[in-house]
A and B are shown apart, each in its own frame.
Chain A
Amino acid sequence: KQEVTQIPAALSVPEGENLVLNCSFTDSAIYNLQWFRQDPGKGLTSLLLIQSSQREQTSGRLNASLDKSSGRSTLYIAASQPGDSATYLCAVHSGGGADGLTFGKGTHLIIQP
């Protein structure tokens, strides 16, 4: 059974810092990996999707990497801003079909102005 772990569970940093959020998964036979953002009381916003054949994806100040063999992904946020404060969730799609996602518990990020 696939298990996804996110470290740290919470992070508070001053504005402007670059930061890295970590995600690990136990079964490397994945189809893709998605990073989501969730604001308090809101739904999930997809940030980046990395296919199993890819090493990284970039969107603006966000960069996600994938090392499938070691079961790890990182989300890099450059020049953090207070508006980046949210919970970031990593989710793995295991299997060749469009099965459901297995989620980590998330990293609660606070960017101090």
Chain B
Amino acid sequence: DAGVIQSPRHEVTEMGQEVTLRCKPISGHDYLFWYRQTMMRGLELLIYFNNNVPIDDSGMPEDRFSAKMPNASFSTLKIQPSEPRDSAVYFCASTLGQGDNEQFFGPGTRLTVL
């Protein structure tokens, strides 16, 4: 398996623009997580899905953030409109809920909002 795949790897955009981050989990995994990493706050959970259904979005910072999982092999995290304070590395992770729950992370998307 290719592991968790994220795109793009780097994104530079201007304040006010819409940003869409993409994630493909490991095939067969039924849980998908979105995390954000900043120098100040470290790694924080934003939202997670089970069988394509959002379970907990309490970590989503504002209504500007939204996430979807239309099928078992694809998820998006959208920021609209983007702000400079959204600059961070966004990670996607997946796991098999019936297994040992080891989470596997993608390479991340480094977002810079100017």
Q: Residues of A at under 8 Å CB distance from B? A: 31-32, 34, 36, 41-46, 49, 51, 89, 91, 93, 97-106
Can you give 15 A-B contacts (C-beta < 8 A)?
A: A32-B100, A32-B102, A34-B103, A44-B91, A45-B105, A46-B104, A49-B100, A93-B101, A99-B48, A100-B33, A100-B45, A100-B56, A101-B33, A101-B43, A105-B42
Chain B residues, CB < 8 A from A89: 43
Q: Residues of B at under 8 Å CB distance from A? A: 31, 33, 35, 42-45, 48, 50, 56, 59, 91, 93, 95, 97, 100-108, 110
* Chain B residue at minimum C-beta to C-beta distance from A101: B103
> How many A-B contacts if CB must be within 8 Å?
58
Which of A45, A98, A106 is the one whose CB lies under 8 Å from B97?
A98
A106 to B39: give the CA distance in the assembly, Å: 11
Which of A45, A93, A103 is the one whose CB lies under 8 Å from B43?
A103
Known: A98-B50, A98-B97. A43 touches B105 (CB 8 A): yes
Known: A31-B101, A104-B42, A106-B42. A98 touches B31 (CB 8 A): yes
Known: A32-B100, A43-B91, A98-B95. A103 touches B107 (CB 8 A): no
Given contacts A32-B102, A91-B43, 17 further A-B contacts (CB under 8 A): A32-B100, A41-B110, A42-B108, A44-B105, A46-B102, A49-B100, A51-B100, A89-B43, A98-B31, A98-B95, A99-B48, A100-B48, A101-B33, A101-B35, A103-B43, A104-B42, A105-B42
